[in-house]
Structure 1
Amino acid sequence: MRDSGMNPRLLLVEDDPVSLAYLGEAARALPAEVDCAANLAEAFALASRHRYDAWLIDANLPDGSGAELLSRLRETLASPPPRALAHTASQLPEELAALRALGFDDVVSKPLPVDAWQQAIRQCLGDSGQTSTWDDDGALRALNGNVEAVASLRALFIAELPRQSLAIHAALDAGDADAARAELHKLKASCGFVGAGRIRRAVDDLHANVSDMDALAHFDEAVGHTLDPARAKA
Structure 2
Amino acid sequence: MKPTTMPRILLVEDDPASRAFLTAAAQALPSVVDAASDCAHARHLAARSGAHDLWLFDANLPDGTGAQLLASLRAAAPRVPALAHTASHERADLDPLLAAGFLEVLVKPITAPALQGTLRRVLAQALAATTIDAARTDADTADAAWPTCGKLPNWDDAAALAALGGEQAHVDALRRLFLDELPGQRRAVAVAVVAGDVEGAGRELHRLGASCGFVGAARLAAAVRWLQAQPRSADALQRFDAAAGDLLAPA
| TM-score normalised according to structure 2 size | 0.52
Q: Distance in 2 between matches of 1:99 and 1:88?
A: 10
Q: 1:8 to 1:100 in 2, by over 3 A?
A: same
Shift of 1:218: 3.9
2:30 maps to: 31
Partner of 2:47: 48
Match of 1:90 among 83, 88, 91: 88
SS in structure 1 of the partner of residue 9 of structure 2: strand
Name the structure 1 match of 2:163.
none
Change (3 A) 1:103 1:216: farther
1: CA distance, partners of 2:77 / 2:125: 23
Inter-partner Cα distance in structure 1 for 2:207 and 2:22:
25
Runs of 4+ in 1 over 2 A off after TM superposition: 196-200, 214-221
| Residue 67 of structure 2: aligned partner | 67
Matched, 1:19 2:21: no
Letter in 1 for 2:54: A
1:78, CA displacement in angstroms? Answer: 4.2
Q: Equivalents in 2 of 1:220, 1:111: separation in Å?
A: 42
- 1:177-192 to structure 2, matched below 5 A, reads none
Q: Conserved in 1, the CA contact under 8 Å of 2:209 and 2:225? A: no
Matches within 5 A, 1:115-154: 115-126=113-124
Matched, 1:9 2:8: yes
Whether the 8 Å contact between 1:106 and 1:124 is mirrored in structure 2 is no
Change (3 A) 1:123 1:96: farther
**Conserved? CA contact 2:86–2:107, under 8 Å:** yes
Could you list the runs of 5+ residues in structure 2 that have no partner in the other structure?
Answer: 130-197, 211-223, 232-243, 245-251
Matched ranges for 1:103-122 at <5 A: 103-122=101-120
**Conserved in 2, the CA contact under 8 Å of 1:199 and 1:219?**
no
CA distance in 2, matches of 1:83, 1:198: 20
**DSSP 3-state at the match of 2:14:** coil
Q: Shift in Å at residue 120 of structure 1?
A: 1.5
**Could you state the TM-score of these two structures normalised by the residue count of structure 1?**
0.55
Distance in 1 (CA, whole Å) between partners of 2:90 and 2:58 is: 16
Deviations 1:95-149 (Å, cap 9, x if unpaired)? Answer: 2222111100111000011111111111221359x98xxxxxxxxxxxxxxxxxx
Q: How many residues align?
A: 150
Contact 1:15/1:39 (CA < 8 Å) preserved in 2? yes
When residues 88 and 10 of structure 1 are mapped into structure 2, their CA distance, relative to the original with a 3 A threshold, is same
Question: What SS is found at the alignment partner of 1:126?
Answer: helix
Distance change in 2, residues 1:219/1:199 (3 Å): farther
| Pair 1:7–1:122, CA change in 2 (3 A) | same
Distance 2:19 2:12 in 1: 8
Percent of pairs identical after alignment?
Answer: 42
Give distance in 1, aligned partners of 2:207 and 2:74: 21
Contact 1:58 1:66 in 2 (8 A): yes
Counterpart position of 2:217: none
